[in-house]
Amino acid sequence: MNKALKYGLLIFGIVIITVVGFIGFGLYSMEIEDHYGDLKELYYDSENGDLIVNKTTSEFGIIEKNWKRINIKTQQKDSTDLYNWVYRSGIETKSEIYRAKNEEIELNKITYSELEKRIENSDFKLIIKN
């Protein structure tokens, strides 16, 4: 093969990989938006180990995030999807996501009132709220 054909195949391969990459990223983003809808900002801004507080129901939990879903671990339940956490009986509740500034939070050793005091004392940084 001559040099021009090799460069042509190389450029063609790079273009194909780029197009497939854009299509894959678009399908991934579309699945997140289809599942979470208006909550997609909560998905993108949160990280694994963040604290989520439901202000309406006075509940809190730790976020366990994977590449497609967010599950919330609470003291009562081992795993709840973010969509089910925010929408209770079809009604949207107000949730806030915080990140610990210094150390990770122990879920079994804290109550909601203690958590509110720690938030007021700026032990946690507000990431996003809906």
In this structure, are 11 and 52 located in the same domain?
no
Q: Which amino acid is at 127?
A: I
Tokens of 117: 């005091």
Nearest to 85 by CA among 29, 33, 42: 42
**Number of C-alpha atoms within 13 angstroms, CB side, residue 92?**
9
Q: Which residues contact 36 (CB under 8 A, 6 or more apart)?
A: 42, 43, 82, 83
In this structure, are 99 and 115 located in the same domain?
yes
Residue 107 reports pLDDT greater than 70: no
Residues 130 and 128: their CA atoms lie apart, in Å, by 7
Structural contact between residues 66 and 47, judged by C-beta atoms closer than 8 angstroms: no
Predicted confidence at residue 80, as pLDDT, reads 86
In this structure, are 27 and 44 located in the same domain?
no
Q: How many domains does the chain have?
A: 2
In this structure, are 58 and 98 located in the same domain?
yes
In this structure, are 76 and 101 located in the same domain?
yes
In this structure, are 105 and 51 located in the same domain?
yes
Domain that includes residue 62, residue range: 38-129
In this structure, are 23 and 55 located in the same domain?
no
In this structure, are 71 and 59 located in the same domain?
yes
| pTM, to two decimals | 0.79
Query: Each residue of 44-97: pLDDT tens digit?
Result: 999 888 889 998 888 888 999 888 899 998 888 788 888 888 888 888 899 999
In this structure, are 19 and 44 located in the same domain?
no
Q: What value does the CA radius of gyration of the chain take, rounded to a whole number of Å? A: 21
In this structure, are 16 and 43 located in the same domain?
no
In this structure, are 121 and 102 located in the same domain?
yes
